[in-house]
Amino acid sequence: MVSQEPLEKTPLHALHLELGARMVPFAGYDMPVQYPMGVMKEHLHTREKAGLFDVSHMGQVYLKPRSGNLADAAIALEKLAPVDLLGLKPGRQRYAFFTNEEGGILDDLMVANRGDHLLVIVNAACKDADLAHMKAYLSDLCEVETHFEDKALLALQGPKAEDVLAPLCPAVAEMKFMDVRACELMGVTCVISRSGYTGEDGFEISVPAEHADALARTLLAHEDCEAIGLGARDSLRLEAGLCLYGNDIDTTTTPVEASLVWGMQKARRPGGDREGGFPGADIVLQQLAEGAKRLRVGLKAEGRAPIRPPAKLYADDKGETEIGHVTSGGFGPSVGAPVAMGYVAADHAETGTTLYAEVRGKFLPVTITDTPFIKPTYKR
């Protein structure tokens, strides 16, 4: 069923229309899927130079400890996420995820230590549920402050991102991957992280909504920077082996099944200082110890035909033994070949294994491949 609710607009909506974007509904917002350049060229431009993405539909939440001690907010948030947040240093950011009582992923998010509060960036489609979740469990210890409307979020991605941003704030050149700091951009205080979701170096910029248009226009005026839509954002993150919530991870997939164990630090794992204590811990910790029955893997196809979800995966070319399915897939412009991710039975998940994807009645060979499909260029 198509929702009859009017679509929300980001602070850059008028700019998207001015730039000739093709707009589509996404997570309740009217969002640019591509510009006149087209998805393929937008993708390659981001890999080669710099692309500017409007990600203002995502939610920004401040968690402010009522005690004034940030450790209290970190410990409180750890009760919802199997991640070491107490050990997150000021000026640093960490990937995290909320789990449910079955160990499934409610949402994946970014958490930054801002000194006196935690900044939590949540996915657009989940932000209302995430906010209710945090208020229900954290309100006794934290003020849960939303910035859904008064803040915009821009992602500047690509090898030339620093060259584009540094003229406005030279200090960004000193930042490393996952650093977070406040910076004056065009006379306005913004919060900048050296992060993104493309596999490239780059920045995410939280800017007051009323200043977002002027900042975006200034960045786009740089010869190396172009506006990039959701289409290229999806192919870029897929090549980087990064999950899309609702496709590759959801409430039915655990962090272990999703191959996100790297996001669970030692302190929260078996034998760690703060082992467990999060929803679904018994299930997740058991999978860590014994292994999960299925795993998310990368897939490369022969030929040029993309393997798209929800294509079924089989152990044989006759389609007799089904062992999984595709969750994300398409043509990888930088790879020059189709790439995909999906879930397969653990005993068929070894790199190099040949499986068969059902595409329009044919069984096409695919090979399990390590992700990411491209070499990331994060500034370590």
How far apart (Å, rounded) are the C-alpha atoms in residues 78 and 95?
13
DSSP state of 167: T
Q: Identity (one letter) of the amino acid at 275?
A: E
What average pLDDT does the chain have? 97
Q: What pLDDT was estimated at residue 303?
A: 85
Percent of the chain scoring above 70 in pLDDT? 99
Lowest mean pLDDT among 124-128, 179-183, 284-288, 301-305: 301-305
Closest to 207 in 3D by CA, of 240, 228, 225, 184: 184
Tell whether pTM > 0.85. yes
pLDDT at 204 over 60: yes
**Cβ-count burial of 214 within 10 angstroms (0-12 exposed, 13-18 middle, 19+ buried)?**
middle
Collapsing DSSP states into helix, strand and coil, what is residue 293? Answer: coil
CA-to-CA separations, 357 to 102, 239, 307, 312, in angstroms, rounded: 29, 19, 7, 6
Bridging pattern class, strands 188-193 and 180-185: antiparallel
pLDDT at 42 over 80: yes
204 labeled binding residue? yes
**Are the C-beta atoms of 344 and 356 separated by less than 8 Å?**
no
Q: What pLDDT was estimated at residue 3?
A: 53
pLDDT at 276 over 90: yes
Determine the CATH number of domain 293-379. 2.40.30.110
Q: What pLDDT was estimated at residue 302?
A: 86
CA-to-CA separations, 173 to 143, 214, 226, 228, 318, in angstroms, rounded: 33, 22, 20, 23, 54
Q: What are 205-248's pLDDT values in tens digits?
A: 999 999 999 999 999 999 999 999 999 999 999 999 999 999 99
End-to-end CA distance of the chain: 45
The H-assigned helical ranges of 249-305 are: 281-290
DSSP state of 256: T
Bridge partners of residue 337, in order along the sequence: 332
Where exactly are the structural domains of the chain?
1-292, 293-379
Q: What pLDDT was estimated at residue 2?
A: 47
Q: What pLDDT was estimated at residue 362?
A: 93
pLDDT at 273 over 60: yes
DSSP state of 319: S
Q: What are 73-102's pLDDT values in tens digits?
A: 999 999 999 999 999 999 999 999 999 999
Q: What pLDDT was estimated at residue 1?
A: 44
User: What value does the mean pLDDT take over residues 283-298?
Assistant: 97
How far apart (Å, rounded) are the C-alpha atoms in residues 227 and 115?
33
Q: Confidence class of residue 267 from pLDDT cuts 50, 70 and 90?
A: very high
Q: What pLDDT was estimated at residue 4?
A: 63
Q: Identity (one letter) of the amino acid at 229?
A: G
Q: Are 1-292 and 293-379 in the same CATH fold?
A: no
Contacts of 46 (CB under 8 A, 6+ apart): 157, 158, 198, 200, 228, 232, 236
- Please name the CATH architecture into which domain 1-292 falls: 2-Layer Sandwich (3.30)
Q: Confidence class of residue 304 from pLDDT cuts 50, 70 and 90?
A: confident
